[in-house]
Amino acid sequence: MSMRISNSTIRTGATACAVVLAILFLLPSCRKDRIYEVEPLPVLPPSPNKDKEKTNEQYAAILHANLFQTALSANELFELGQCIESIGDKELAREVIISNFMNEPDVIIPSDSVMRADIDAFVNATYERFLVREPTEAERTWFRNYIEADPNVSAELVYFSFALSNEYLFY
Partner 1 sequence: MDRRKFIKRAGAVAGATIAAPYILPTGRLFAASGGGGQLASHVVFVLFAGGVRQQESVLQRYLDDSQGEPYAGNIMYNMLNGAPPTQKIVYGTGLGGINPIPAVLGQTLQQQGTLFPEMRAVSTGHYGGLNSLLQGDTAATQGLNQKPLGPTIFEYLRRHAGTPASKVWFVGNTIGNSVPLLNYSEHPDYGVTYGANFFAPNITFGPLGDEYLANAKVYHPQDQLAPMYEMKYFLDNSFENQGRVLPALGNTEEEKQDIKAFMKEMFNKTQNGTIAHPPVADSGDLRTVGYACELLKWFKPTLTVVNLSAVDGCHSNFTGYLASLHRADHAVGHLWDFIQTQVPEMAGDTVIIAAPECGRNDEPNAIRDANDWYAYDHSDQNSLRVFGMMAGPTVPSNLIVGSENNPVGRVTDMVLTIAEVLGIKSEVINAGQIYPTSSSLFDQM
Cβ contacts of 85-88, under 8 Å, gap ≥ 24: 85/56
Using the CB atoms, write b or e for 115-151: b if 16+ within 10 Å. bbeebeebbbebbeebbeeebeeebbeebeeebeeee
Interface with partner 1, residue 157, by CB under 8 A: yes
The reply to whether 87 sits near partner 1 by the rule CB under 8 A is yes
> Where is 164: in which H helix or E strand?
helix 155-164
Phi, psi (rounded to 5 degrees) for 53: -80, 140
* Per-position x/- string for 117-146, each x denoting binding to partner 1 as judged by CB under 8 A, each - no binding: -------------------x--x--xx--x
Compare residues 13 and 48 and give the one whose CB is closer to partner 1. Answer: 48
Instruction: Build a one-symbol-per-residue string for 28-47: x at contacts with partner 1 by CB under 8 A, - elsewhere.
Output: -----------------xxx
For the chain, the first-to-last Cα distance in angstroms comes to 87
83 is an interface residue for partner 1 by CB under 8 A: yes
> Does 166 sit near partner 1 (CB under 8 A)?
yes
- What are the residues binding partner 1 (CB under 8 A)? 45-48, 50-51, 53, 79-80, 82-83, 85-92, 95-97, 99-100, 102-103, 136, 139, 142-143, 146, 150, 152-154, 157-158, 160-162, 164-167, 169-170
